[in-house]
A and B are shown apart, each in its own frame.
Chain A
Amino acid sequence: MNVIPIRSSSEIRFVLNGRAVALDVRPEALLLDVLRDRLQLKGAKRSCDMQVCGACTVLVDGAPVSACTYLAIEADGRELTTVEGLGGDEALDPLQEAFIDCAAVQCGFCTAGMLLTAKALLAEDSAPTRERVSQYLRGNLCRCTGYRKIVDAIALGGGDRIAQAKPARGALEPLRVVGRSVRRTDALEKVTGRARYLSDMEVAGMAHARLLRSPYPHARIARIEVTSARALPGVYAVLTGADLTWCEPFFGPALRDRPILAVDVARYEGEPVVAVAAVDEATAAAALDLVEIDYEDVPAVMTIEEALAPGAPLVHTGEPLAGHFSDLASLRARPGTNICHQFDYRRGDPESAFAGADVVVDDVYTFPRVQHYSMEPHGAIAEWEPDGALTVWSSTQNPFSVRAELAALFNLTASRIRVVVPLLGGGFGGKTYAKLEPVAAALARVARRPVKLQASVDDAFRTVRRCSARVRVRLGFHHDGRLHAFSCDADYDIGAYADIAPRVIQKGTYTATGPYRVPNVLLHSNAVYTNTTPGGAFRGFGVPQLVWAVESLMDVAAERLDRDPVDLRRQNLLAHGEEFAPGDTPVDGKLEESLDRVAEAIQWQAGAPAGRAKGVAAMMKASVAPSVSEAIVRLHADGSASVLVSTVEMGQGARTVLAQIAAEVLAIPLERVTIVSPDTSITPYDQTTSSSRSTTMVGRAVQEASADVIGQLVKIAAECFGVQPRHLRAEDSAIVGEGQRATYPALIDHHFGMRGGELIGRGVVAPGRTRAPLGGSTPFWEVAMGGAEISLDAETGAIVVESYTSVADVGRCINPQQCEAQDEGAVVQGIGHTLLEEMVYEGGALLNGNLVSYRVPRAEDLPPRLESLFVENGDGPGPFGAKGVGEGSLIPVSPAIANALARLAGVRLTELPLTPERVWRALRDRTPRPSGP
């Protein structure tokens, strides 16, 4: 009885989406790879790789399985369904329709798995309750939507019940296209699995790369032996930091302190040390197994305290080189310390103001290291042309910054570099600035062929994170409640490399006073290097760390002043039109209206039911300045339009909103507008897709470019009609006026004297430098306020967010349903770092760099009641009175919940996340409060 093992390929047969399939697979082949690479069905995605996230869900004999952890050989004889098999050839499955109608689709990376899991649930239970849906989705993560709209879609199940789903309506009268909750323009491709992300892309002849990372937080690299790895058949290139003599090895937007691969020293656990490109990933992995490295341990600094201690080991010793980011010319490192940049600002006479204050509150708050967990990890494909030009396909939020880095690294002109960006499976700031592109390009150069470097989620944990912080805030009040003095002393832990962190700390700190009027201000912050994953941009850009402290202390102050926390805030709010700081952008919203909406929505005055308490928090955040956005609108001879912008679609719905703006101004149907994907050789400059700026800045550029086209049409029509241009207007794909009418195709035809040609409109929005303290004035203020109602399991310390109301002042919703979707996602992401998320280091190593032990919110964590409201006064500086949304609503979540906890249990926590154990300890240690009068 001798069983013969399967060692090589063997044939398997199965039914896939109704069709018989036969193919040979190796025993170790995973079903996900076979589906994606062999059968070219890219709908199932690879994300956590650990059966936690559900992005790879497929149905095997009707049961959901994780294709990432399922041997393909097990599919033999079975029936498989992937997202591509949902619905018929012509029609969508009702569930796919429901996902679109309910706006349950954002970046789309979770969508296939969500749909298939929901199919399995509905097969078991055709009318599940929302609670059952949430439980069943325990194994399906989404980082964009906050789950509410997904649960809506599944609970409705498609069919007739979907009619109950009423798309959100804005408060302002909608225009023809703007102000309406139109379907996302990318929804169809996302619910059918046809949407293509970087991770789905293949370039002919491409090799696959993998990285070997440092196991130590701080180590000198004494020896690297790669001879055997290079000799392995199928290996095209093996690179170490020492090999990078033919290019500039350092990059970074603020400081060029980050090597493509560690040079001599590795500065954090997980830093890339060796890169391999090979015929496939398995060969690349095998090559890395053959690499030998001798490390010599160097003392590491793992915390802010360790890094700032006198005589602390230094993460960096050399002279830093300035990066390419414009407003950091004044980088102020403190040589001989771990301080990479410091920011100072003062206004009025803070020292005297504190001395004269009637009530001063003062405390230190800490904010954890948090991982973005975009469901799609970073990725890049690089290809060098024979003539030396470089093309990089990248999952980046700012292709032009990546281009600038590559130009400096490889000594190329901008025009010789093409950075192309497909759809992103989430970004949240983690994909801003160059990450993997430099190493992919270096490998491709040496391998002499295209190279794809697709990171995994554990790579992402070792690529970028949110800057953690320790923040001391003091607030000084007059007895009448006027906020008179404000000081903030913040140390941000920026990890081993600067990335964009110097801007994060500078910009965050400058706006620390948020929505309040304060005459006397003293701000100081340090960007502190530690031997941990580099900190960078993350939704909120340095502000959540400070608002956590300031808004907690506002409640502490209210108690000391015996004031209602909402009243105290209201008293100190900046007025509409009041300058934030002398010479800086005036407040463009009505802050009291937002605060009052929150108070009204959560019935603040009514108090909370027994066992519950409410808390509020407010915030106001700047967008990036100065900044530039350009747009080109091409009106084709048939009257359809291509909009060329470099806005990255990462789930936020920018393409839909920009198409709505173009369609509105061009007076053509939305379906006739196509947004061209970012490609630095084709689409015009845009600084970055971040900072909630796209609707305002790119939106205005699109509006201007569209108006430019209309101006040209009007001019042509005026000649044709023999009338003054001022009597003409655009309407329904035609120019009309003075009783005459000519369609766009007719006018273009007339203009060129033939059927062909096109009109090109250009829009440029570039506010430029100002005399404001940071050298640029924010184009708008993002305003968000939140109200939480919580309950508490006092024995375990577990907090339940029973209800959350978010109010965002957006000027005007271009697409109310998508605004709501963004906002709900922001709140739930905020609940993540408030209650659950924290990267934990022990002994220099990251303990929880994967989704099994790093816990992000699940559907079950969605508050039973989540309400997203908008203040719309049409007073934003963006198109049609709109302004930015998307980051702000994440920010008040932590203090709103902590303020509710303080009211409920009498404990004031200063450290996030508010884990059950932390809360339990605080409850155990609380001193009995003196009984009231």
Chain B
Amino acid sequence: MECGIVLRPFALYQASTVGEASEVLAREGSDAVVYAGGTEILLVLKEGLLRVGSLVDVKRIPGLSEIRADDGHLTIGATATHRAVERSDVVRERCPLIAGVARHVANIRVRSVGTVGGNLAFADPHSDLGTLFLAFDGTVRLGSRGGERELPLEEFVRGPYETARGEDEILTSVRLTPWPAGTAGAYVKFGVFERPTLGIAAALMRDGGDVVTGARLAIGCVTPRPQRLLAAEERLRGFTVAEVSRHADEVATLAMRDVEPLGDLHGSAEYKREMVRVFVRRILTIAAARADGRETDERHPHTIVV
């Protein structure tokens, strides 16, 4: 093994269109990687975990960092930084939770440089956005010389550091469906390590009244890839807000049965499974309180509540 860091020589392609970038990626194959903020890719290159001859910079492609709202969706360009998301008026207005989470990704330096697209495409299981965006029915758009395609986020992220992106494709944006008015949501992450041990997103959608008409519950970090907790979501439907609180424990147990955590440095599978139960219950309590126009005053160690 070699210790110490060295960034080995590479050719840097500064693409100005998706087509250009795709051409290079197609030609260089596995010897090239997409590069945007570099907060993930430069790390693995420096550590020697990955060795490539070419970096394809997609930051200079016009429009790729754009954040816009249209036809009921919020679209975040792949090269938008976490910082840009945090400060974006459109995000704050349409999906304030996403702006809030952006403020808690990694640290200030990573947020200044790291991009949303890079985060999703790198597919580090100990990450926030993949989980969060599942609660917004996220779909990613992939561009290449051959055109574009869209994929639901669930299908895009296949496992740790593994996605459905083709070798010549570039993740160009992520499209999110803002929650209807009156939805109460939250994102909670927990862990003592640099990267989160568990991340969970929840939304309780209501049809003007007190009854939950739809729910989103997504969990990440504890599993190889983020996932929706469908059985728990299903159980929540039809509950009144008060019932959500009352049945939080039961829903949490349902949720726990839906996950197959992997043990790692962050904890054993057994511990993580139990934490799923704890945090599903906690986030439902938080979301239910918000549905009531309240904030819970409970604070927990090593926990960030957005």
With contact pairs A63-B83, A70-B113, A213-B1 given, residues A836 and B265 touching in the complex (Cβ less than 8 Å): no
- A54 with B109: CB separation less than 8 A: yes
Measured between beta carbons, the chain A residues less than 8 angstroms from B7 are 28, 30
**Residues from chain B with Cβ under 8 Å of A69 in the complex:** 38-39, 42-43, 46
Interface set, chain A 882-929, CB cutoff 8 A to B: 915-917, 920-921
Q: Residue A729 at the B interface, CB < 8 A?
A: no
Q: CB distance A798 to B271 under 8 Å? A: no
Does A111 touch B at the CB level, under 8 Å? no
Looking at the complex, which one of B110, B194, B267, B271 makes contact with A851 (CB distance below 8 Å)? B194
Which size bracket describes the interface of A in this complex? 35 or more
- Contact assessment for B5 and A456 in the assembled complex, using a CB-CB cutoff below 8 Å: yes
Chain B's interface size range is 35 or more
Known: A49-B46, A64-B112, A139-B107. A5 touches B1 (CB 8 A): no
A285-B2 in contact given A136-B108, A853-B193 (Cβ < 8 Å): yes
Chain A residue, CB-CB nearest to B5: A49
Q: Does A64 lie within 8 Å of B108, measured CB to CB?
A: yes
Q: Is A214 an interface residue (CB 8 A)?
A: yes
- Residue-wise, chain A 32-55 has the 8 Å CB interface mask toward B (1 for contact) of 000000000000000001111010
Answer whether A26 and B17 are a contact pair too, CB < 8 Å, given A270-B3, A458-B3, A793-B300: no
Determine whether B88 belongs to the interface, using a CB cutoff of 8 Å to chain A: no
A282 touches B2 (CB 8 A): no
Residue B181 is within 8 A (CB to CB) of chain A in the complex: no
With both beta carbons as reference points, the residue of chain B lying nearest to A59 in the complex is identified as B112
Whether A64 pairs with B193 at a CB distance below 8 angstroms is: no
Q: Does B268 make an interface contact (CB < 8 A)?
A: yes
Dominant secondary structure at the A interface:
mixed
Q: B2–A917 contact, CB under 8 A? A: no
Contact between A50 and B4 (Cβ–Cβ < 8 Å)?
A: no
User: Are B14 and A269 neighbours in the complex by a CB distance under 8 Å?
Assistant: no
Q: Let me know if B190 and A796 touch, CB within 8 A.
A: yes
- B214 beta carbon closer than 8 Å to chain A: no
| A221 at the binding interface (Cβ < 8 Å) | no
* Per-position 1/0 for B1-13, Cβ under 8 A of A: 1111111111111
Q: Which residue of B lies closest to A286 (CB)?
A: B8
Min CB gap B17→A, angstroms: 7
In the bound complex, do residue B3 and residue A3 qualify as a contact, i.e. CB atoms below 8 Å apart?
Answer: no
A836 / chain B contacts, CB cutoff of 8 Å: 192
User: Least Cβ distance of A882 to chain B in Å?
Assistant: 38
Residue ID in chain B nearest A913 by CB atoms: B192
Distance of B43 from chain A, by nearest CB (Å): 6
The distance in angstroms between the C-alpha atoms of A314 and B85, with both chains bound, is 57
Whether A139 contacts B274 by the Cβ 8 Å rule is no
Minimum distance in angstroms from B202 CB to a CB of chain A: 17
CB-CB under 8 A for A27 and B271, given A139-B107, A798-B302, A855-B192: no
Let me know if A916 and B302 touch, CB within 8 A.
yes
- Is there contact, CB below 8 Å, between A3 and B24? yes
Min CB distance A141 to B, Å, is: 10
Enumerate chain A residues within 8 angstroms of B8, measured Cβ to Cβ. Answer: 28, 282, 285-286
**Docked-complex contact A269 and B109, CB < 8 angstroms:** no
A66: interface (CB < 8 Å): yes
Compute how far the CA of A30 lies from the CA of B8 in the bound complex, rounded to whole angstroms.
Answer: 11
Known: A139-B110, A456-B5, A795-B278. A916 touches B12 (CB 8 A): no
A139-B108, A796-B300 in contact; A5/B12 too (CB < 8 A)?
yes
How long is the Cα–Cα vector from A926 to B46 in the complex, in angstroms?
A: 46
Contact (A138, B1) CB under 8 Å given A51-B39, A799-B301, A917-B268: no
Query: Which of chain A's residues has its CB closest to B35's CB?
Result: A71
**Contact A210:B2 (CB < 8 A) given known A27-B10, A796-B190, A852-B195:** yes
Q: Which residues of B contact A848 (CB under 8 A)?
A: 265
Query: In whole Å, how far is A603's beta carbon from the nearest beta carbon of chain B?
Result: 23
Check A765 for interface membership: any CB of B closer than 8 A: no
- Bound CA–CA A52/B107 (angstroms): 8
Given contacts A6-B11, A213-B3, contact A855 B194 (CB under 8 A): yes
A796 to B275, Cβ gap below 8 A?
yes
- List CB contacts (< 8 Å) of B223-271 with chain A: 265, 267-268, 271
Give the residues from 10 to 24 in chain A that come closer than 8 angstroms, CB to CB, to chain B. Answer: none
A619–B258 alpha-carbon span in the complex (Å): 49
**A455, B3: Cβ atoms closer than 8 Å:** yes
Contact of B3 with A456 in the complex, beta carbons under 8 Å: yes
Q: Mark A131-157, 1 if CB is under 8 A from B, else 0.
A: 000001011100000000000000000
- Shortest B65–chain A CB gap in Å is 14
Which residues of the partner chain B approach A853 to less than 8 Å between Cβ atoms?
193-194, 265
Q: Does any Cβ of A come within 8 Å of B305's Cβ?
A: no
Cβ-closest 5 pairs across A and B: A139-B107, A5-B11, A27-B12, A63-B112, A798-B301
The 17 sampled A-B contact pairs (Cβ below 8 Å) are: A27-B9, A27-B10, A30-B7, A51-B39, A65-B109, A66-B110, A69-B39, A69-B43, A120-B108, A139-B109, A210-B4, A214-B1, A281-B6, A285-B8, A793-B303, A853-B193, A917-B271
Known: A27-B11, A285-B2. 12 other contacts (CB 8 A): A1-B19, A3-B21, A69-B42, A213-B1, A281-B6, A793-B300, A795-B278, A798-B192, A798-B300, A852-B194, A853-B193, A920-B271
